[in-house]
Structure 1
Amino acid sequence: MPRFALLIEYDGLPFHGWQRQAGGQPSVQAAIEAALGRLEPGPHTIAAAGRTDAGVHATGQVAHCDMARDWDPFRLSEALNFHLKPAPVAILRAVRVADDFHARFSATERRYLFRLQARRAPVTHDRGRVWQILNPLDVAAMREGAAHLIGSHDFTTFRSTLCQAKSPVKTLDEISIATAPVPGGTEYRFSLRARSFLHNQVRSIIGTLERVGAGGWDPADVKAALEARDRAACGPVCPPQGLYLTGVGYPVDPFAA
């Protein structure tokens, strides 16, 4: 059966996350599998690089599917986009890949972006797509705090109690923080990169760094929280709507050609 990799973009607001739900609640996976069923009758199961939570968005999710027909990749993406309407899900590209390609297990890194806006006026156009706070943050302090998290650590403090990963040890390759002006305030853009992340790790880190930027925590408190290896030492977990899965790395990029 020919295998295809799909590069996927979606708005996470209407969905209960990526993963198909036992209770039938809407999910991104179920929407794409239903569209595949319109092209080739029968059950379809796709695997993704990351199982994003409810309300989390993606601009560069990757999944793979097996088809009975050897579709032209462009026609496959066009047909899927037609059948996905009106769901806010888009197949940006489809490419033929080797049978041993796996969207999750072949991946060598995941990249996330978190958007946080500080302004007094309510967010309008970006509602549901950023985390809004009212007061500006100290970027230098947040960068100092974030530096303690770079590298390989036991991230138990920043891990959901529901996390099913076998080990809390992860290697965080990057946390960078950029700013951009928005009407009436500032947007803070946190970019994180690692081979893989624990459940709620990114949102736990961002919530903690926001406390540093707001002055509630000292940058050194981030190091102390990490070394505590205790979930109770974590700062607040930030809401999901500012989080985006922006890219997935592979030994050979299937979408490079």
Structure 2
Amino acid sequence: MEDTRSSGMDSDPNLHRANERLRITNQMLWSLLADISKKMQSSSAAIKASVSSLLGYDIVLGMAAQHELLEIIESSTDQVSKNIMLLTLVSKMATDTFIINPEPTEVPEILSSVNGTVAKNYPDLPLDLNVQTPGKPAYVDYEYLSIALVMLCELIIQMQPSPRPLSIAAVESKDHWAVDIGEVNQEVLDTLLKASASGSDELLQDAHLLPTRRLQLYVVYEILERLSIKISTLSSDTDEPVYIRLMIPVVNIN
């Protein structure tokens, strides 16, 4: 007897395409996660080698050599920590265990925290924070929005052809906070706008981006999407700097 359920699925081309797209997306996602795991192994190996050198009793290291090894340990540890957080977030999103807990939150407070984190990670980079206060609270998840904004800012910084100052400005309107972040590399902007139009699958399949950056943009997009934060671009002229504009809904007090 023919399996009518299977036959029905095969006869529906739209369902077949959707299933095939889901299969390809999952395959790409786990491939990227495996790549990040390999990078973590490399960082762990660097930490172990540096610690072994510091603990070696047969060679006396000078202060400069010890300082260099300690910098390697610090840098590698920070990288492992970031990758663990990235792997955790992506894994939760892929298995539908990622839960957003929005509540009324002050936008200036979030942006001040984000600015402080970025300043700590990039102490030599000029930062400009310009936020209108006071204002209506937004209905967001403080922790996850902070993570998304820090990732977005660091991606903008890392993907610039040369170091440029980073500015964050926020103004409240009737229904939204408009948060402008820039100056933005065109590649980052195009990728996020493409994802806004076609979904997060586009981020995973963008071969022009490194695996880590693909996953970071994926996390940023998914968090913003789940918080109903719209992504657009702000530029009045092609010769002027380009900014990402995030429209964050305010709490409706009515």
- Higher percent of residues as helix: 2
Larger proportion of strand: 1
- TM-score where L is the length of structure 2: 0.23
TM, length-normalised to structure 1: 0.23
Q: Using CA pairs below 8 Å that are at least 6 residues apart, which structure has the higher relative contact order?
A: 1
